[in-house]
Amino acid sequence: MHRQRFFTLSASCPDRVGIVAKVSGFIAEHKGWILETSLHAEPPQEGEAVGRYFMRIEIRADSLPFHLAEFRDKFRPLAEELEMDWKITDSAVKKRVVVLVSKQEHCLYDLLARWQSKELDIEIPCVISNHDTFRGFVEWHGIPFHHVPVNADNKAAAYAEVQRIFEEVRGDTMVLARYMQILSPALCAAYPGRIINIHHSFLPSFVGAKPYHQAWTKGVKLIGATCHFVTADLDQGPIIEQDVIRIDHSDAVEDMVRYGKDIEKTVLARGLRYHLEDRVLVHGNKTIVFR
């Protein structure tokens, strides 16, 4: 990543001739210095007349004569002409990531270590858990900890409280770091493309609970982990990142769980980084990931 401050324009629109010329022409017209460009044309999906075009452009901030608010005002007419879904972000503004966790510690520990070392240059305004297990560990890092119990009788109220906390701390992204609860459809709908989960299997195989047990029963030779956006459909959201490790007949379920922890935390960290750097664009139930 570039050390100087930059703006990231990420966008998608119906495919047509001249998209890159128009957008790069707009940037050049205002003396913008492009640092990095990623482009992808996706063919039409079933029922679509045209495909969709995706782009991610990094622009050196000090090369432009204005800041983001004015960029948005000036760029909006072109975006409307191109029927574009778009956003522009500032590398100097740290994203605010709220972490949700239950009783599995490895993903939480890994994220906090990467945050503390500034490998993930983010703000973590709080951690939310349905158990009190990690309060001391989280607060030792100077991060507020919220215990929000979840049971069969209080789910609506519990998820309303999670949403209240997320809004109160001005969260940008919610990360389920082995948060072993199914979020309510209302909470999922409130933050489309902003809730990230790590699932301990190579989706779409072995959704739901105890995927390592399911994998062992099936005698698979590869196990994996999947970082994906959360939707109301359990473990069916757009996939951001995945990885696998080879196993064999001699591995017990306990071995697979141990191997899987390493994959889970690295896949979650990679997927979260791609998202925070605006490298992930959603297209239906797929993602375009500009690595």
Q: Which long-range contacts (CB under 8 A, 24 or more apart) does 29-35 make?
A: 30/64, 30/65, 30/66, 30/74, 31/63, 31/64, 31/65, 32/59, 32/60, 32/63, 32/64, 33/59, 33/60, 33/63, 34/58, 34/59, 34/60, 35/2, 35/6, 35/59, 35/60
Burial class (CB in 10 A: 0-12, 13-18, 19+), 101: buried
Domain termination residue (choose one: 90, 124, 152): 90
Check: CB of residue 145 under 8 Å from CB of residue 127. yes
Residues 144 and 233 in one domain: yes
80: burial class by Cβ within 10 Å (0-12, 13-18, 19+)?
Answer: exposed
Q: Are residues 216 and 261 part of one domain?
A: yes
Instruction: Kindly state whether residues 64 and 147 are assigned to the same domain.
Output: no
Which residue, of 51, 66, 90, is where some domain finishes?
90
Residues involved in catalysis: 235
Residue 106 shares a structural domain with residue 243: yes
Q: How many structural domains is the chain composed of?
A: 2
Residue type, 167: E
Domain boundary among 90, 117, 141: 90
Q: Is residue 234 part of a domain?
A: yes
**pLDDT tens digit at each of 291 positions of the chain:** 557 999 999 999 999 999 999 999 999 999 999 999 999 999 998 888 899 999 999 999 999 999 999 999 999 999 999 999 999 999 999 999 999 999 999 999 999 999 999 999 999 999 999 999 999 999 999 999 999 999 989 999 999 999 999 999 999 999 999 999 999 999 999 999 999 999 999 999 999 889 999 999 999 999 999 999 999 998 899 999 999 999 999 999 999 999 999 999 999 999 999 999 999 999 999 999 999
Cα distance between residue 100 and residue 251, in whole Å: 30
Nearest to 60 by CA among 29, 24, 34: 34
137, 169: one domain: yes
In a domain, 244, yes or no: yes
Do 79 and 117 share a domain, yes or no?
Answer: no
Please indicate, yes or no, if residue 284 is contained in any of the structural domains: yes
Q: Which domain covers residue 126, as residue numbers?
A: 97-289
Residue 172 belongs to domain with CATH number: 3.40.50.170
Phi and psi (nearest 5°) for 177? Answer: -95, 75
Residue 1 lies in a domain: no
Domain holding 58: CATH number?
A: 3.30.70.260
DSSP code, position 50: S
